[in-house]
């Protein structure tokens, strides 16, 4: 009786254990139906023959590729002018505000300083002395020709005249830096105030001074930008820059109006690579009359003619849950499904942005392996 009870208890325990394991198996199966619990599929010899798989490797082929990059509207350095005062001084007058348009020759500022008066005075004094020394030099030269005076006196006269000529010339150039014409300067028009005019047409982008402020020669008072020669500066990664050529067509839009497209052409490719592995590409606008503002962000597409890219036949790509994969041949009859990032496609080939090296890829009937992998997960 005790023996029969023991057998009954063992039987009941076994049944409970089996019943407890079944829900766990169902969970695994349900999970596999959505996510594919395994990435590796193995075929036997018969399955491999029936699958009729084809193999190949990623290869470099020429494709008409479009490169998407970001950039900014910019102007060349030749169209940006920083205004400073060569001798410094006090700002007496200005009416500039950022955003104002000025024409070449328009008044930017009126400066005044005692040093301006001293410079004008020094020039007129030097000029007057130069006239005297020139006359003395001519007189000593004539006397020396008849031996009426010594060579030493003549040489001293010539030295004084030459030195004064150099001094007068240097003071004359300083006056020109201040916008003063030495030829018209005389004792009647000496001024303590100097007008400074715009050297180019453009927009005032910076005003760094106020009335009464003293500025040094190194201080930047204003900045003017001439927008007549706008260009597009794009930021391109070094791997993509090798595919660019001068003349590549570019289309872009700004964040201000994404529906309006502008067009440009690649003009300069900077060969220097920055620390972040990017370089600058400068593009000239096709229509230079468009109204754009320097500093505006832009989204651009560069057309690459016959760019060499790594590609596989389109049949090599399988889609699982809207994501692309390929099967890589492993040892024996095993195949591993790996995700890939796709680029452009043309003539039955698709760009592969992943580095697959020279691994053997299933390029024909790849979906057979996907179905086998799904069946094994169910």
pLDDT tens digits, residue range 254-295? 988 888 999 999 999 999 999 999 999 999 998 866 778 888
- Fold match, 37-62+310-377 / 66-77+226-307: no
What's the mean per-residue pLDDT of the chain? 86
**Cβ atoms within 10 Å of 266's Cβ, excluding its own:** 21
> What pLDDT is recorded for position 378?
61
Annotate 26-91 with DSSP letters as a single string. HHHHHHHHHH-S-SEEE--HHHHHHHT-EEE--EEEEEEEEEEEEEEEE--GGGEEEE--TT-EEE
The pLDDT-based confidence of 243 (bands split at 50, 70, 90) is confident
> Which of 1.10.287, 1.25.40, 1.10.3470, 3.30.70 is the CATH number of 114-187?
1.10.287
Listed in sequence order, the DSSP H helices in 146-207 are 151-177
Instruction: Report how far apart the first and last C-alpha atoms of the chain are (Å, whole number).
Output: 46
| Distances in whole angstroms, Cα of residue 373 to Cα of each of 32, 47, 108, 369 | 10, 13, 77, 6
Average pLDDT value for residue range 175-180: 92
> What pLDDT is recorded for position 149?
79
Average pLDDT value for residue range 116-140: 94
> What pLDDT is recorded for position 290?
73
Q: Domain boundaries in the chain?
A: 37-62+310-377, 66-77+226-307, 83-113+192-225, 114-187
Tell whether domain 37-62+310-377 is in CATH 2.40.420.20.
yes
Q: How does pLDDT run across 96-123, given as a tens digit for each residue?
A: 999 999 999 999 999 999 999 999 999 9
What pTM, to 2 d.p., does this model score?
A: 0.58
Q: Which residues contact 195 (CB under 8 A, 6 or more apart)?
A: 107, 109, 110, 179
> What pLDDT is recorded for position 36?
55
Task: Identify the H or E element spanning 139.
Answer: helix 114-145
Helices 114-145 and 151-177 sit at what angle, rounded to 10 degrees? 150
Asked if residue 216 has pLDDT above 80, the reply is yes
Task: Identify the H or E element spanning 368.
Answer: helix 366-377
- Extract the tokens encoding 155: 């040489």
> Under CATH, which number does the domain 83-113+192-225 receive?
2.40.50.100
20-29, 229-238, 314-323: lowest mean pLDDT where? 20-29
Average pLDDT value for residue range 39-50: 88
> Under CATH, which number does the domain 66-77+226-307 receive?
2.40.30.170
């Amino acid at each position: 009786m005790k023996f029969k009870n023991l057998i009954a208890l063992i039987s009941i325990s076994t049944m409970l254990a089996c019943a407890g394991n079944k829900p766990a198996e169902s969970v695994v199966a349900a999970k596999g139906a959505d996510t594919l619990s395994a990435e590796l599929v193995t075929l036997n010899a018969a399955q491999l023959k029936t699958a009729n798989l084809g193999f190949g490797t990623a290869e470099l082929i020429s494709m008409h590729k479009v490169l998407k990059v970001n950039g900014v509207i910019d102007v060349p350095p030749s169209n940006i002018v920083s205004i400073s005062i060569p001798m410094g001084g006090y700002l007496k007058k200005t009416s500039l505000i950022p955003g104002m348009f000025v024409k070449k020759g328009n008044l930017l500022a009126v400066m005044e300083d005692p040093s301006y008066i001293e410079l004008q005075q020094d020039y007129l004094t030097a000029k007057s002395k130069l006239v005297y020394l020139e006359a003395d030099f001519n007189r000593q030269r004539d006397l020396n020709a008849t031996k009426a005076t010594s060579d030493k006196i003549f040489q001293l006269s010539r030295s004084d005249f030459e030195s004064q000529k150099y001094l007068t010339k240097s003071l004359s150039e300083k006056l020109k830096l201040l916008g003063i014409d030495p030829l018209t300067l005389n004792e009647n028009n000496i001024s303590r105030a100097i007008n400074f005019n715009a050297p180019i047409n453009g927009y005032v982008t910076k005003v760094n001074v106020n009335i009464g402020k003293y500025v040094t020669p190194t201080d930047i008072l204003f900045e003017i930008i001439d927008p007549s020669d706008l260009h597009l500066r794009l930021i391109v990664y070094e791997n993509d820059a090798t595919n660019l050529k001068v003349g590549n067509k570019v289309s872009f839009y700004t964040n201000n109006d994404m529906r309006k497209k502008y067009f440009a052409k690649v003009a300069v490719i900077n060969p220097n690579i920055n620390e972040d592995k990017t370089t600058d590409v400068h593009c000239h606008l096709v229509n230079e009359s468009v109204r754009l503002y320097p500093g505006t962000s832009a989204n651009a597409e560069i057309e690459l003619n016959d760019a060499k890219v790594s590609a596989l036949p389109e049949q090599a790509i399988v889609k699982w849950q809207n994501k692309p994969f390929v099967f890589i041949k492993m040892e024996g009859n095993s195949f591993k499904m790996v995700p890939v990032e796709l680029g452009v496609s043309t003539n039955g080939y698709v760009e592969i942005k992943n580095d697959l090296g020279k691994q053997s890829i299933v390029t024909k009937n790849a979906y057979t392996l996907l179905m086998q992998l799904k069946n094994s997960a169910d």
